[in-house]
Amino acid sequence: MSEAHDAVEVIIAKRGRSELTDAQIDWVVDAYTRGVVADEQMSALAMAILLNGMNRREISRWTAAMIASGERMDFSSLSRPTADKHSTGGVGDKITLPLAPLVAACGVAVPQLSGRGLGHTGGTLDKLESVPGWRADLTNQEMLDQLEDVGAVICAAGAGLAPADKKLYALRDVTGTVEAIPLIASSIMSKKIAEGTGTLVLDVKVGTGAFMKDEATARELAETMVALGTDAGVTTVALLTDMSTPLGRTAGNALEVRESVEVLAGGGPEDVVELTLALAREMLAGAGRSDVDPADKLADGSAMDAWRRMIAAQGGDPDATLPTARETHVVTADTDGVVTRMDAMAVGLAAWRLGAGRARKEDPVQAGAGVEVHARPGEQVTAGQPLLTLHTDEPDRFERALASLEGGVDVGDAASYTASPLVIDRVAP
């Protein structure tokens, strides 16, 4: 059959800073998914988009074309409203784990389609797979049944959801076009809109351990995604949150599950609790349930009950002992003082090198590997006191992990430390 457009014509238009028409966008996304547009042609177009950008109409249409490449889920049969959260990824970002059962305990269903980690950012599915028996792959019907019964599900996205994104995501990774905001925004939002949630809260990370290193770029991404959600009829807001310091006191799969359970038990690190509650309140407000205070559900144990039911529903044993690494190495403070800085990227790279993350999609991860933080910024330490404990099954990994921590932690006097807010700003339509 003859094609309605030609890939070269679309590439030249964007290379020349022209706006792509709706018809050009619909065709190129569909033709790429069908294999008519070659990888090298889509690479050229992705680079042209990175360099010349897209306006709101173009990004909206591109996202719609990605959604149209696959199926759309429908949660309208559920007896409660739905809300979901997406984080752009960070170090120690275990927030999904306590957040999904917490929001479910407040009467809102959470269909959380999550991914695996790549590089220094941890993946939610990898974390949960450290719970013995837990499985990430559910059918759409299993997902729907669990949402009605338990109110929360965290699982892998099925192959039918935005297949164009899967293909394009892999291409961006190897062509230096990952940073293109129109492509990041449409990649995230096509999956979230196709997932069918009624409310979406975006946690857009800013800082050394984040994808977006500076506030201006993070804000642009947040505004773009909020506009996309709004245009698609999904109630969408974003929080810009700090990712210059790791979240909580752990980075690594089983270590982060353990910490999440502490939060659900009414304890856990202050910053993890603060962000979990901030995101929960946004999700509940979007779903029309501002009358419920999520802090009460952490205190009365109902969030923990929802967690146990969610884990068990997916084959996991909520009472099982979590895996621990065979080897540990303690990093101590050189001097007395206050921890003034702990670089999230350094800790994330160390956890990755210890075996908590992967360099390629097919690499295995170690459930017990990672970094435990004993003193966070603002806390007093004395010389010789433990700052970090490194965990791994393979002791030969310590050397490279320690190299990535070089210069990553500063200890100084209290006067040189200023606390920065965890939630920087809120971006609404």
* Every domain of the chain and the residues it spans: 7-53, 83-313, 327-416
Q: Per residue in 57-92, pLDDT tens?
A: 999 999 999 999 999 999 999 999 999 999 998 999
E strands, 170-317, in order: 199-206, 235-242, 250-251
From the list 71, 72, 70, the residue with the least C-alpha distance to 33 is: 70
Span 50-59, average pLDDT: 96
Per the CB < 8 A criterion, the answer to whether 409 and 339 are in contact is yes
Its pTM stands at 0.94
Structure tokens given for 148 = 């009605």
In CATH terms, the superfamily for domain 327-416 is Pyrimidine nucleoside phosphorylase-like, C-terminal domain (3.90.1170.30)
Express each pLDDT in 386-424 by its tens digit. Answer: 999 999 999 999 999 999 999 999 999 988 899 999 999
State the catalytic residue, choosing from 30, 126, 165, 343.
165
Q: Given pLDDT bands bounded at 50, 70 and 90, which one contains residue 174? A: confident
CA–CA distances in Å: residue 1 to residues 5, 10, 342: 12, 19, 58
5 is catalytic: no
Specify whether 191 is catalytic. Answer: yes
Give 379's pLDDT tier (boundaries 50, 70, 90). Answer: very high
172 a catalytic residue: yes
Count CA within 13 A, CB hemisphere, residue 347: 34
Q: Does domain 83-313 have CATH number 1.10.3720.10?
A: no
pLDDT value, residue 3? 87
- Summarize pLDDT for 84-135 with one digit per residue, the tens: 999 998 999 999 999 999 999 999 999 999 887 766 777 899 999 999 999 9
Of the candidates 372, 312, 368, the one whose C-alpha atom is nearest the C-alpha of residue 153 is 312
Per the residue annotation, which of 187, 190, 244, 404 is the catalytic one? 187
Residue 1's pLDDT band, with cuts at 50, 70 and 90, is: low
Domain 7-53 bears CATH identifier 1.20.970.10: yes
Q: How confident is the model at residue 363 (pLDDT cuts 50, 70, 90)?
A: confident
Looking at 5, 127, 166, 191, which residue is catalytic? Answer: 191
How far apart CA 304 and CA 112 sit, in angstroms, is 17
Catalytic residue among 116, 127, 172, 391: 172
Decide if pLDDT at 21 tops 90.
yes
pLDDT level of residue 178 (50, 70, 90 thresholds): confident
Question: Which candidate in 86, 353, 391, 397 is catalytic?
Answer: 86
The rounded distance, in Å, linking the Cα atoms of 59 and 56 is 5
| Mean of all residue pLDDT scores within the chain | 95
Higher pLDDT, 127 or 358: 127
The pLDDT assigned to 118 comes to 66
Which tens digits make up the pLDDT trace of 293-351? 999 999 999 999 999 999 999 999 999 999 999 999 999 999 999 999 999 999 999 99
Looking at residue 364, what is its pLDDT? 85
Residue 235 has pLDDT above 90, yes or no: yes
